[in-house]
């Protein structure tokens, strides 16, 4: 996504725990900046956004993409429970599961929160000037996963965090669009892509024909950034042809050769219909 946007003239600010491929991108695309960041920490993210503002003076799009997979099985400590350890009453902390939710879900909530702040700052700074974003209020796309739409027995904490992203984006999308002058937030939910994150299990024999091309995810993200429904139409949708408004809070599943736009469900039950808006602050 970063490479593709930079090739189209976007100036990049890369936020990551580790520089990774940022060095290559900063060399290749002048003006690109790197900001060492832990997305699970508000202080770290906040100071990076401050740095981005100091370096670039505007924010038009935020991609909340950082993520990790669990390294330990959620079930392993449960499987080792026996009479002896029960008597000791020492329950091992599910450290890995907690970290997973902190990076994958808290990270997205904090990134979105700060993203909205700086998109607004950009609009205020640009009012009446030539800096007005061609993408109206700007946009935020978060990376969830197929695990954000379907249960995954092997990775329950990852699935919980990724479902959380879908629920969070769906919940804020219309309020944010209305109150933040057209800011669009949406989610991409990729299938299996060959990246450092998945190399382990792909090496164990995941069939190549079921891998998803990273370019397909890039295309989906760019359609969401541009709010260009025609780039997604003609693909599969959960409810016939898409309207521009359908991109607000949409979850775009990108898997294998397919792209499926999931529109948030609307409650059919009358009591539920009444209950949901009542809890909004
Ligand atoms: N690869 C897949 O098959 C696949 C499928 C569905 C969803 N995803 C999601 O796509 C996103 C990108 O993953 P990827 O496959 O490119 O893997 P990746 O490991 O190449 O990228 C993840 C990046 O997140 C960074 N990161 C991890 N913890 C961080 C933290 N606390 N703060 C800041 N940065 C942090 C890593 O340094 C890394 O650069 C993740 O959210 C992942 O869950 C990947």
The tens digit of pLDDT for each residue in 191-211 reads 999 988 888 878 888 888 899
Distances (CA, A) of 199 to 101, 214, 279: 21, 14, 43
In contact, 14 and 39? CB cutoff 8 Å: no
Ligand 1, residues 41, 46, 67: which to mutate, most atoms within 8 A of Cβ? 67
Strand partners, 157: none
Which residue stretches of the chain have pLDDT < 70? Answer: 81-89, 128-136, 233-239, 278-281
Give the closest residue to 156 by CA, choosing from 76, 252, 80, 217: 76
Distance (Å, whole) CA 13 – CA 49: 9
Strand 258-262 versus strand 236-237 pairing type = parallel
Burial of 30 (C-beta count, 10 Å sphere; 0-12/13-18/19+): exposed
The pLDDT value recorded for residue 131 is 52
Any ligand 1 atom below 6 A from CB of 67: yes
What would the pLDDT profile of 24-66 be if each residue is shown by its tens digit? 999 999 999 999 999 999 999 999 999 999 999 999 999 999 9
Question: How many Å lie between the centroid of ligand 1 and the Cα of residue 64?
Answer: 10
Question: How many Å lie between the centroid of ligand 1 and the Cα of residue 143?
Answer: 9
Any ligand 1 atom below 6 A from CB of 210: no
- Which uninterrupted H or E stretch holds 222? helix 214-226
The pLDDT value recorded for residue 34 is 97
Distance (Å, whole) CA 134 – CA 245: 18
Any ligand 1 atom below 6 A from CB of 100: no
Active-site positions read 158, 162
Ligand 1, residues 169, 195, 196: which to mutate, most atoms within 8 A of Cβ? 195
Lookup result for tokens 């479902």: 163
Say what the pTM is.
0.94
Give the closest residue to 235 by CA, choosing from 215, 218, 264, 255: 255
Q: For the packed helices 156-179 and 107-126, what is the interaxial angle rounded to 10 degrees? A: 20
In contact, 252 and 224? CB cutoff 8 Å: yes
- Which uninterrupted H or E stretch holds 185? strand 184-190
Distance (Å, whole) CA 217 – CA 208: 17
Task: Provide CB contacts within 8 A for 132, sequence distance 6+.
Answer: 123, 126
Distance (Å, whole) CA 263 – CA 228: 16
């Amino acid at each position: 996504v970063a490479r593709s946007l930079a090739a189209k003239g976007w100036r990049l600010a890369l936020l990551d725990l580790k520089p990774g491929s940022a060095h290559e991108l900063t060399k290749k695309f002048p003006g690109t900046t790197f900001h060492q960041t832990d997305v699970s920490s508000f202080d770290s993210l906040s100071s990076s956004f401050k740095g981005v503002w100091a370096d670039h003076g505007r924010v038009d799009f935020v991609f909340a993409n950082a993520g990790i997979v669990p390294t330990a099985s959620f079930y392993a400590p449960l499987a080792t429970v026996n009479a002896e350890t029960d008597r000791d009453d020492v329950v091992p902390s599910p450290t890995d599961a907690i970290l997973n939710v902190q990076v994958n879900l808290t990270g997205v909530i904090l990134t979105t929160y700060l993203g909205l702040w700086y998109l607004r700052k950009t609009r205020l700074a640009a009012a009446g000037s030539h800096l007005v974003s061609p993408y109206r209020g700007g946009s935020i796309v978060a990376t969830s996963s197929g695990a954000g739409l379907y249960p995954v027995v092997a990775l329950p904490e990852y699935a919980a965090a990724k479902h959380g992203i879908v629920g969070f984006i769906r919940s804020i999308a219309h309020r944010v669009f209305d109150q933040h002058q057209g800011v669009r937030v949406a989610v991409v939910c990729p299938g299996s892509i060959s990246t450092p994150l998945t190399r382990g299990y792909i090496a164990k024999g995941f069939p190549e024909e079921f891998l998803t091309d990273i370019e397909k995810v890039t295309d989906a993200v760019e359609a969401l950034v541009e709010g260009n429904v025609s780039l997604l139409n003609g693909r599969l949708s959960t409810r016939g042809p898409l309207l521009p408004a359908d991109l607000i809070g949409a979850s775009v599943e990108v898997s294998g050769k397919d792209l499926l736009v999931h529109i948030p469900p609307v409650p059919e039950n009358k009591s539920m219909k009444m209950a949901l808006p009542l809890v909004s602050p």
